[in-house]
């Protein structure tokens, strides 16, 4: 049990340390951060992020509501309100199924931006997620890219590698690396330079059905601490209740698969390349090292040996797992905080006997940290980043002031939070100290649990080939092992050879 002193001794930040931070940031709005509670979590001025041992549910709740932010004043210190012209922004915004509060904030941002910059015409295009990447590829190749785009965390490196994105200097925005998670800055780094600014970041957590745990003779208040425990718990649940223990996802070319498999791989000291290492080179693969083989063996044991996961795992996405979980057929899975709301919605739509069962599942649904492995605890570090395109990709001169104003607004502590209210967290660490974060913690159940996973986040490899590695090669490796087309070792070696060949062509 972490003591009260262990949780809050970050309050003793020295005056000299604050002075160093203040000089690094050079922006009036950041002064509140430098003397605020969040600054006291910083391990060292030369590092990013915070000490995981001091970032927990208690800390998250204690930080919320400790500062007041004047967004207009901070923006105008960067870009004067006289900025003019047209500036374009492409973004994956709300859809029909998006919660109303997220739609309201989306509209509010457009309205308030006009009050901040009355002479700037913001042309904001809400592009469907499934279309945005290809649309940006086509536009940038043809000299028709927008001034600014907000992209999912994995996409930007492709455009940076082609020279389509401008280099970003954080200090030009009144920011410093200490204001972001280490994984967030890794995701916008290409050849040692930043090509974007993180807007929002999220991590998932471990979910379990306490009733199925109790029925299997397991402690319903304590989830598995390690991945080895997950395998053992999954087997026990299947044998004693008939329900599947773990909601495995192994479909090829489905983003759900690497998001749920890679945390185990990293936990065992492996990586697709070497992305989980302290100083990754992104030039070699570790997927078939001892840890990588051990992680894949866990999947084999659950699927083939114990048969404690759905046989449909080869084609399941998280959508199918949600249905299995709400019907009491799966006891454990990895998911977002929004999963609780999803289960409530499924409960509302259920009828008859199914409704009673769904009510039991919702009543017994709980969240905890993702299990750790022999080397570390890990989770996929997700989110989005704001990028400014080059004049060439844009097909003419970028509106420099307008683009800077848009990026500064998207990454401000207020709108990094409000624009991602229901499904993510502010990348700008000052956002965690605001009254808005305090409200979110009240409104969104289990948010503090998934948020407490942030220090353990690892971004996917920041290389142009990352999508093929994560969505094709890794899932096909899993399928080769689970279908016994190859042995576990052979499947890992085959994946390593394919990854090596792919990155050697870069």
Average pLDDT over residues 241-257: 93
Residues in the chain, total: 506
Report the pLDDT averaged over residues 470-493: 97
Flag the least confident range among 110-119, 213-222, 251-260, 262-271: 251-260
Q: How far apart are CA 423 and CA 113, in angstroms?
A: 22
Enumerate residues 6+ apart whose C-beta is below 8 A from 352. none
Which is higher by pLDDT, 485 or 45?
485
Average pLDDT, rounded, for the chain: 89
| Cα–Cα distances in angstroms (integers) from residue 92 to residues 125, 127, 203, 205, 331, in the given order | 8, 5, 19, 24, 33
More confident residue, 19 or 224: 224
- Separation in Å, CA 278 to CA 211, 259, 275: 40, 20, 8
pLDDT given for residue 399 in this prediction:
98
Question: Does the pLDDT value for residue 176 go beyond 90?
Answer: yes
- Residue ranges and CATH numbers for the domains of the chain are 70-202+381-430 (3.40.190.10), 205-379+465-504 (3.40.190.10)
> What is the three-state SS of 182-198?
HHHHHCCEECCEECCEE
Mean pLDDT of 445-469: 91
Mean pLDDT is highest, among 14-28, 276-290, 398-412, for 398-412
Per-residue pLDDT band for 52 (boundaries 50, 70, 90) equals low
User: Do 433 and 199 form a contact (C-beta atoms < 8 A)?
Assistant: no
Q: For residues 414 and 434, is the Cβ–Cβ distance under 8 A? A: yes
pLDDT at 165 over 90: yes
**Residue 412 pLDDT class (50, 70, 90 cuts):** very high
Q: Residue 445 — very low, low, confident or very high, per pLDDT cuts 50/70/90?
A: confident
What is the predicted pLDDT for the residue at 111? 98
User: How confident is the model at residue 383, as a pLDDT?
Assistant: 93
Kindly list the strands in the beta sheet with 120-126, ordered across the sheet, starting from the edge strand earlier in the chain. Answer: 120-126, 85-91, 148-152, 382-388, 197-202, 425-426
Q: What is the pLDDT of residue 467?
A: 86
Distances (CA, A) of 70 to 221, 414, 491: 42, 9, 54
**Residue 129 pLDDT greater than 90, yes or no:** no
In 3D, which of 167, 245, 173 has the Cα closest to residue 209? 245
Residue 175: pLDDT band by 50, 70, 90 thresholds? Answer: very high
Coil, helix or strand at residue 45 = coil
What single string gives the DSSP state of each residue in 288-334?
A: TSHHHHHHHHHHHIIIIIS--S-GGGGT--HHHHHHHHHTTSEEEEE
What pLDDT score does 142 carry? 98
State the angle between helix axes of 474-482 and 256-267 in degrees (0 to 180), rounded to the nearest 10. 80
- Mean pLDDT across the stretch 119-144? 95
Q: What is the pLDDT of residue 13?
A: 30
Q: How far is CA 407 from the centre of its chain?
A: 19
Tokens 């290809």 correspond to 134
pLDDT in tens, 351-379: 999 999 999 999 999 999 999 999 999 99
Summarize the confidence of residues 423-452 as an average pLDDT. Answer: 93
pTM of the complete model: 0.82
Res. 44: pLDDT tops 80: no
Convert the pLDDT of each residue in 322-347 to its tens digit.
999 999 999 999 998 888 888 998 99
Cβ proximity of 124 and 406 under 8 Å: no
Query: pLDDT band at residue 18, thresholds of 50, 70 and 90?
Result: very low
Task: Supply the pLDDT for residue 95.
Answer: 87
pLDDT of residue 40: 54
Residue whose C-alpha is closest to residue 288's, from 486, 424, 154: 486
Rounded to 5°, the CA angle 493-495-497 comes to 70
* Residue 148 pLDDT: 98
More confident residue, 129 or 312: 312
Q: Tell me how far apart the alpha carbons of residues 187 and 196 are, in angstroms, rounded to a whole number.
A: 9
pLDDT at 6: 30
Nearest to 59 by CA among 44, 42, 71, 45: 42
* DSSP tag of 423: T
CA gap 86, 88 in Å, rounded = 7
pLDDT at 253: 86
H helix runs in 122-226, sequence order: 129-141, 156-161, 182-186, 210-215
What's the rounded Cα separation, in Å, for the pair 270 and 333? 21
Is the torsion defined by CA of 305, 308, 310, 316 positive or negative? negative
């Amino acid at each position: 049990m972490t003591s009260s002193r262990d949780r809050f001794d970050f309050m003793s930040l020295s005056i000299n340390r604050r002075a160093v931070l203040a000089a690094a940031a050079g922006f009036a709005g950041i002064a509140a951060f430098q003397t605020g509670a969040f600054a006291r979590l910083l391990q060292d001025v030369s590092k990013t992020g915070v000490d995981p041992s001091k970032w927990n549910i208690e800390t998250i709740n204690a930080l919320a509501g400790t500062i007041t932010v004047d967004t207009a004043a901070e923006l105008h210190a960067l870009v004067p309100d006289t900025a003019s012209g047209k500036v374009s922004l492409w973004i994956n915004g709300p859809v029909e199924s998006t919660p109303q509060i997220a739609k309201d904030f989306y509209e509010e941002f457009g309205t308030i931006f006009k009050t901040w910059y009355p002479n700037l015409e913001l042309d904001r295009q809400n592009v469907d997620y499934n279309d945005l990447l290809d649309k940006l590829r086509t536009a940038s190749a043809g000299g028709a890219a927008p001034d600014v785009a907000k992209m999912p965390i994995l996409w930007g490196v492709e455009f940076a590698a082609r020279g389509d994105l401008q280099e970003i200097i954080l200090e030009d925005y009144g920011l410093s690396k200490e204001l972001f998670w280490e994984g967030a800055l890794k995701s916008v780094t290409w050849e040692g330079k930043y090509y974007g600014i993180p807007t929002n970041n999220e991590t998932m957590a471990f979910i379990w059905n306490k009733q199925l745990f109790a029925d299997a003779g397991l402690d319903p208040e304590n989830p598995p601490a390690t991945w080895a425990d997950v395998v053992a718990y999954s087997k026990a649940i299947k044998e004693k209740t008939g329900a599947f223990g773990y909601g495995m996802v192994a479909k090829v070319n489905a983003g759900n698969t690497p998001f749920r498999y890679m945390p185990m791989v990293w936990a065992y000291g492996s990586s697709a390349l070497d992305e989980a290492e302290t100083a990754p080179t992104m030039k070699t693969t570790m997927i078939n090292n001892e840890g990588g083989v051990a992680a894949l063996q866990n999947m084999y044991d659950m699927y083939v040996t114990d048969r404690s996961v759905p046989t449909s795992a080869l084609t399941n996405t998280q959508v199918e797992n949600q249905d299995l979980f709400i019907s009491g057929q799966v006891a454990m899975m990895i998911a977002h905080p929004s999963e609780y709301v999803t289960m409530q919605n499924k409960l509302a739509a259920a009828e008859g006997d199914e409704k009673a069962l769904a009510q039991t599942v919702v009543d017994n649904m709980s969240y905890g940290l993702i299990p750790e492995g022999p080397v570390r605890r890990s989770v996929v570090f997700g989110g989005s980043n704001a990028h400014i395109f080059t004049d060439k990709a844009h097909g003419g001169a970028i509106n420099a002031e307008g683009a800077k104003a848009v990026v500064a607004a998207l990454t401000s502590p207020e709108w990094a939070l409000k624009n991602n209210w229901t499904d993510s967290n502010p990348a700008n660490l000052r956002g965690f100290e605001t009254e808005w974060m305090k409200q979110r913690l009240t409104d969104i159940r289990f948010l503090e649990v998934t948020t407490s996973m942030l220090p353990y986040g690892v971004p996917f490899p920041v290389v142009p080939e990352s999508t093929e590695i994560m969505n094709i090669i890794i899932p096909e490796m899993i399928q080769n092992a689970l279908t016994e087309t190859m042995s576990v070792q052979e499947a890992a070696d085959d994946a390593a050879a394919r990854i090596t060949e792919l990155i050697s062509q870069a």
